[in-house]
Amino acid sequence: MLVGTRCSLRPYREDDIQTLPNLLNDYDVAQWMTAAIPHPYTAADARAWIAKVSGELPTDNFAVEVDGVHAGGIGIRPHIGERTGVAEFGFWLGRSYWGRGIATEAARLLGEYAFRERNLRRLEAHVFAPNLASARVLEKCGFIREAVSREALTERNGDVVDCLFYACLVSNSI
């Protein structure tokens, strides 16, 4: 478990099967998430996710917990081969947890873990351009916008938007 003052990051567990659909069925939460996370999000989707990540060693995907309550998720996806040492970085929070510094603290906790414990040298994040709040979280954690990929992403509503490509190096780390 990774512990901060506003939140903790812990491995997913069975009781998250009940909370995941409640959090992820809010369209405003799901709007700018990868299409790999279905919407609507069912208990079956949650069971499949928990089955996939509950045995991870080392842990790549964490539940964000606030005051003992499951509030969101955060994770890394380490690359292999010539991209060893690099990981994709992503996070989300339930709407009632927005605007309280929780995402920023969770991102810092995971970034520190990724660099220190996982020996990564680079974290990368893709952000839907209209999602300014997520971009700001990354910037507060030392991520630098390296590129804009024009018309690279399609939102759940079908709108095509730019992708903001952010990265953080261990040398300018979180």
Is 136 part of any domain?
no
Contacts of 83 (CB under 8 A, 6+ apart): none
pLDDT digits (tens, 9 = 90+) for 82-139: 999 999 999 999 999 999 999 999 999 999 999 999 999 999 999 999 999 999 999 9
Is 149 part of any domain?
no
- Domain with residue 44: its CATH number is 3.40.630.30
**Whole-number Å distance between alpha carbons of 142 and 108:** 9
62: which 2 tokens? Answer: 């964490």
Is 145 part of any domain?
no
What mean pLDDT do residues 142-164 have?
96
Is 70 part of any domain?
yes
Is 83 part of any domain?
yes
108: containing domain: 2-124
**Whole-number Å distance between alpha carbons of 92 and 131:** 12
pLDDT digits (tens, 9 = 90+) for 18-30: 999 999 999 999 9
Is 113 part of any domain?
yes
Structural domains in the chain (count)? 1
Asked whether the whole model's pTM tops 0.75, one would answer yes
